Amino acid sequence: MQIFENHFLKDLNTFGVAVYAREYTRLQSENEVRQLLDHPAFNKGRHLIMGGGSNILFTEDYDGLVVHMDMQGKEVVRETEEKVFLKVQAGENWDDLVDYCVARGWGGLENLSLIPGQAGSSPIQNIGAYGVELKEHFHSLEAIHKKNKTPVTFSKEACGFGYRNSFFKNRGRNEYIILSVTFVLDKQPIIRKHYGSLAAELADHGIVQPGIADVREAVCRIRRRKLPDPVVLGNAGSFFKNPVVPYATYNRLRTEYPDLVAYPEESGFKLAAGWLIDRAGWKGYRNGDAGVHEHQALVLVNYGDASGKDLLKLASAIQQDVQAKYGVELQTEVNII
């Protein structure tokens, strides 16, 4: 394990924000993780565990140690006639993992195609897209407690999954380092094709009985049309969560805006944050190099040299405007550092 000083992070966050870390290290094995826990640079001050940098906005240089998880490897740890249990190291690229599973006919993750990031961070956010959430195919994860250095196995129940949420974003925040995640996949996949835009995409291509490869390809086409490639245009995907509001709020808004996009939930209705931002006139907005994507209002973009503070200022203005127009609070999906 090596510690590097004054390390440039622009290529390690998908917003492409030009910031520095006082110290930086990359970990490629569990042994190196254990070395880290005993290292003075880790214990003497502030530190940040990060994966692909796809769900983070740096607003200033990081005055501490940035730890980049880069552990690689996949292993079938159990198999039945119907299921495959695949253990994936934390540093594996998420979309490469989805492609790997689809190529082997293992279903479950195909609706989550082209989501940026790494396998180890996927349970923290309980990533989801096109009618599927990660928790539906999650079996367990292995982590290590930062302070007492003991290994811990978390079941699905222990992870406390919610909408874009988990134990690791709440009570367990900053307490553990995730080493690997085990997914349970279907040998006889159940095709989830009825989510609005996905169903339309399949129909447009004349696909009536899609397989998991068809679903993956359809999701990739949609995402490429709607979302900018962070290699070309800095972004972190959806910047805000879709807010869940009570029935009374939904009914009020639906009366005023008959074209409101919303989905029923147990506790009320989930509103499409992108629709709210678009309807408020923000889609395509640009101030300097900080802007809102021209095709997807939910995505903030860095056109070149925007700082994290520039992007955060824009996000705050959007939140205030949506609150004023609709009486709805938008919460960030991206972690602000």
Q: E strand or H helix at 312, and its extent? A: helix 308-326
In degrees to the nearest 10, what's the CA dihedral of 225, 95, 81, 207? 10
DSSP per-residue codes, 13-54: STT----EEEEEEEE-SHHHHHHHHT-HHHHSS-EEEESSS-
Helix (H, G, I), strand (E, B) or coil at 251: helix
Choosing from 122, 140, 180, 238, which is the catalytic residue?
Answer: 238
Give the Cα separation of 137 and 94 in Å (integer).
Answer: 14
Choosing from 140, 164, 201, 307, which is the catalytic residue?
Answer: 164
* Residue 15, C-beta contacts closer than 8 angstroms, at least 6 positions apart: 56, 57, 58, 230, 234, 235, 236, 302, 308, 311
Query: Does residue 46 carry a catalytic annotation?
Result: no
CB of 221 within 8 A of CB of 210?
no
Burial of 44 (0-12, 13-18, 19+ CB in 10 A): exposed
CA-CA-CA-CA torsion sign (74, 77, 79, 85): negative
Query: Does residue 140 carry a catalytic annotation?
Result: no
CB of 299 within 8 A of CB of 318?
no
The arrangement of strands across the sheet holding 262-265 comes to 244-245, 268-271, 262-265
CB of 86 within 8 A of CB of 122?
no
Q: E strand or H helix at 218, and its extent? A: helix 212-226
Structure token digits, residue 337: 């550092």
Query: Does residue 238 carry a catalytic annotation?
Result: yes
Which amino acids are annotated catalytic? 164, 238, 333
